Structure 1
Amino acid sequence: MEHRYQQLESWLLQGIREQRWQLGERLPSIRTLCEQQGLSKATVQHALQRLEAQGLVEARPKAGYFVTLQPRSIRAPRSRTQVDAPRPVTVSELFLDIMRRSAAFDLLPDLHAGEVPPGIVALNRALGRALRRQKGDDHQYYDAPAGDPALREQLSLHAARRGWTVLPEQLCITSGCQHALFLALLACCRRGDIVAVESPGFYGVLQLLEQLELQVIEVPSSSDQGMDIDALEAALGRWDIRACVVSPAFATPGGALMPEEARKRLLALADQHDLAIIEDDIYADTAFGQVPDPLKALDGADRVILCSSFSKSLSRDLRLGWVSGARWHQKILHLKLVTQLASSRYQQQGVADFMQDGSYAAHLRRQRNELRTQRDRLIASLHAWPGRFASVHHSAVWRSGWSCPRQSIPSPPTRRHCSRAW
């Protein structure tokens, strides 16, 4: 049976689909919805926040909620449902060239020549202060493998605001999200094991699978639901899959936000088949609306290894990420010691100060506003293209702050507009 907020969410969604409220039009106020539907204010707000998290509406201060999606102009491409047999991974030279050039990693808002965002100015000051504090013999010693306690404390507080309770000792600082994914795969898989990934998905994961000599199962995913859980279940019934790499919040390149029911099914399958879930959570902080809870927040069986970093939300030059390794965490700490030994102490302390004084939260608010503006320009440009491009699927652009995905999009207008602005 649906909860009251789900019933209201479905009713509003149907109205948006039927264009009862047009693109850019204001929805009925919270007070009006409370009176018309006989619901509490909290119930109405919950339904609206869920629609906002899906990119269907956006909240404007002191104005209300406005429709941001025009369903008739957006048609999701049909995803294939067949899952091919597991096979070794061979990454093409094209992908390697893209990685070398960092060609698919330009996420930050477009800037004028010489312009430095206020958040980066504040970050540089925090890093400078941390570097000046390295007195005496401190600079002669390696940091602990788990990372700076102050940064892990700030990351713990940041996670709590997203509905995930994690202790600082359950976090390990890494050299970016790619390093976190590498440690996760190394901890829970052995050579020859089968790993399920989203298709289409992040080619950086394929590179890791190739280097670790793991086999891959490509599970089809859509731009509105994410990984096809039915297809994954069928694959689990046929093959002994050891791990699954998934991005529930704004998957690359489709930008899907995985529904809660699909998340619960994924975790149930993990329990049933003794599966390790590796969550790539790198884009969540770029959400325009409410930042979605991580899959890890639902992990009651300690099967989800969460990986993330600051590269999409703050600066890729930091090379600071983190991993929460679930039941494999001690092994991940050992592997961190073996593969990297330690992370930069002053960088970690500087970012911890940057988060503690509220500068990171302020930076995210400014960046989301900039990205929302650029999203609107991109959508307007797409609608201005000739008719053959009118049905280009761009729901990912509505849902999160990322745009230039880690895998290139073959649509001419999307490729053209992603090359710089996003």
Structure 2
Amino acid sequence: MADEYRYQQLENWLLQGILDQRWRLGERLPSIRALCSEMDLSKATVQHALQRLEAQGLIEARPKAGYFVLLQPDGVKKPVSRARIEAPRPVNVSDLLLDIMGRSAAFDLLPDLRSGDLPPGIVTLNRSIGRALRRQKGDDYQYYDKPAGDIGLREQLALHHARRGWTASPEQLCVTSGCQHALFLALMATCERGDVVAVESPGFYGVLQLLEQLGLRVVEVPTSIETGMDMNALEEVLERWKVRACVVSPSFSTPGGALMPEPEKKRLLALAERHDLAVIEDDIYADTALGRAPDPLKALDMDGRVILCSSFSKCLSRDLRLGWISGARWHDRILHLKLVTQLASSRYLQQGVADYMADGSFSSHLRRQRHELRANRDKLIALLHTWPGEVRVSTPKGGLAVWVELPNDVNTLSSYMSGLERGIIITPGPLFSVSGQFENCLRISFAHPWNTSRIEGLGRLQDLLLS
């Protein structure tokens, strides 16, 4: 048989195997050598068949690892639940959230399961911070850092953003105590008690906590689990109510990892200009991209309306507590509020992270993390795909979690205490809204490897929710 028919034959055979789940999402296909031997084909023929499947988005090549199943056509159903547009209301965050955070369970089904081994990137980070501490001279410890933060770190952050399409200067950046602190400063600078703030729904519960503490009212904007905030819905909201600010995560928003297309970003900025509101961009998940990190919304901001907030907590270390903010037209106000709320950041910690970025260690860490997160995501989706009944799962291209939509008769909120009794901690869907929606949904993180214990924990979760 001619080669052109033989590669098609192999391509069809592999495709049928994927459809029949001979190889599931995230699993490795037979090696090129094995396929050559088993099918009696040349290496060029096998590579051509694999490249055609890769071009269709069905598999991907991973350096020095082989080809892996990327997506199963029609195999994973996407969540379809949609939030309702309701009038602005005060925020009252559930005490359940405090319980989850108190158990350090925001990103792990089994938070007590810890390996004790530090990843190479964190070992290198600790060394950089240690060297910075040892470099402190004289009575440096007697003085506070500048409110804007260490210039060396701000220079590295500016370079990092330039690689993502936003040309920033160090003067446009202010170091904060994490992204939550940055969001807090942004809301304080742009809003007054009683103002209305638009948020994604489902969206980040940390923002809801801030709105509650600041006495702000919230209006929830329906959000696609794939493409982010619905601009038609936002436009309707802006026509009906006076909104002071909009908090949005264009790059892999929690809980499902939505990625906003560029035309929608431009439309958001046009709406912001027309209705005179601040856009607060939560960019914390951008560096968890499983491919190229997307450009921030801030890169399109020509009118000084986008306040960018981010930190290292999702892409590097939760314990680092270093973030940053670029305050646009409100930047001077934000610098003053930083002085009032934090005074200053740790100088040696900033210098250590700046060195870590300058010598390429941060970029190397992100490359390693990208492969680990993709493997974790694919394994989780493959496991969820085996659950019985109508189970829908997001397939994010970044972030740390998937959004799972279960049959309508499932109530994840009422299952929380039963989960604790079974040794698992879940993050119920209603926590991502102030209106009690998404009772049949939950967020599940893939930040950690799916070892035997976590797979068993996921099995207990299935029994709890679907038995």
Distance of 2:377 and 2:68 partners within structure 1: 16
Q: CA deviation at 1:326?
A: 0.6
Give the SS at the match of 2:218.
Answer: strand
Q: Using structure 2 for the length normalisation, give the TM-score.
A: 0.74
For 1:161 and 1:413, the matched residues in 2 are separated by 34
- Secondary structure of residue in 2 paired with 1:317: coil
Match of 1:392 in 2: 392
- Check the 8 A contact 1:382/1:413 in 2, yes or no: no
State whether residues 105 and 404 of structure 1, in contact with CA within 8 Å, keep that contact through their aligned partners in structure 2: no
Aligned pairs (5 A) from 1:91-102: 91-102=93-104
Q: Are residues 1:201 and 2:203 paired?
A: yes
Is the radius of gyration larger for structure 1 or structure 2? 2
Which secondary structure state, in structure 1, belongs to the residue aligned with residue 199 of structure 2?
Answer: strand
Which residue of 1 is the match for residue 296 of structure 2? Answer: 294
Taking a change above 3 Å as real, the CA distance of residues 82 and 113 of structure 1, as seen in their structure-2 partners, is: closer
Question: Residues 232 and 167 from structure 1, CA distance in 2 versus in 1: closer, same or farther, beyond 3 angstroms?
Answer: same
Question: How far off is 1:268 after superposition?
Answer: 0.6
Note the 1:242-321 alignment, pairs <5 A. Answer: 242-321=244-323
CA distance in 2, matches of 1:119, 1:341: 30
Cα 1:407/1:282, change in 2 over 3 Å: farther
> Does structure 2 retain, via aligned residues, the 8 Å contact 1:106–1:420?
no
Identify the residue that residue 407 of structure 2 maps to in structure 1.
none
Deviation of 1:393 after TM superposition, in Å, equals: 1.6
2:299 match: secondary structure: helix
In structure 1, how many angstroms separate the alpha carbons of the residues matched to 2:401 and 2:112? 12
- The one-character-per-residue Cα deviations of 1:143-167 (angstroms, maximum 9, x if unpaired) are 0000000000000001011111110
Aligned residues, how many?
Answer: 382
Is 1:143 matched with 2:145?
A: yes
Deviation at 1:312, TM superposition (A): 0.6
**Rounded Cα–Cα distance in structure 2 between residues aligned with 1:157 and 1:416:** 30
Aligned partners of 1:57 and 1:282: how far apart in 2? 28
By how many angstroms is 1:78 displaced? 2.7
Tell me how far apart the structure 2 counterparts of residues 413 and 329 of structure 1 sit (CA, whole Å): 36
Deviations 1:57-80 (A, max 9, x none): 745449999772234123333343
Separation in 1 of the partners of 2:348 and 2:164? 27
Q: Deviations over 1:65-117 (max 9, x none)?
A: 9772234123333343641000111111111222333321459x999732111
- Cα root mean square deviation, aligned: 3.5
- What amino acid maps onto 2:351 in structure 1? Q
Judging changes above 3 Å, is the alpha-carbon distance between structure 1 residues 240 and 362 closer, same or farther for their aligned structure 2 residues?
same
Give, as a single letter, the amino acid of the residue that structure 2 aligns with 1:228. D
Partner Cα separation in structure 1 for residue 68 and residue 207 of structure 2: 37
Partner of 2:363: 361
Higher mean alpha-carbon deviation, 404-413 vs 282-291, is at 404-413
> Could you say if the C-alpha distance between residues 64 and 371 of structure 1 is closer, same or farther in structure 2, counting changes exceeding 3 Å?
closer
1:203–1:407 Cα change, 3 Å? farther
**Equivalence for 2:373:** 371
Distance 1:401 1:345, change over 3 A: same
Task: Provide the rounded CA distance (Å) in 2 between the counterparts of 1:270 and 1:305.
Answer: 12
1:221/1:146 Cα in 2 relative to 1: closer, same or farther (>3 Å)? same
- Unaligned runs of 5+ residues in structure 1 are 1-17, 37-47
Where in structure 2 are the equivalents of 1:181-260 lying within 5 Å?
Answer: 181-260=183-262
Deviation track 1:330-376 (CA, whole Å, cap 9, x = no partner) reads 10000000100000000000000000001111111111111222222
Tell me the SS of whatever aligns to 1:250: strand
Q: CA contact under 8 A between 1:126 and 1:351: conserved in structure 2?
A: yes
Q: Give me the whole-angstrom Cα distance separating, in 2, the residues matched to 1:164 and 1:354.
A: 21
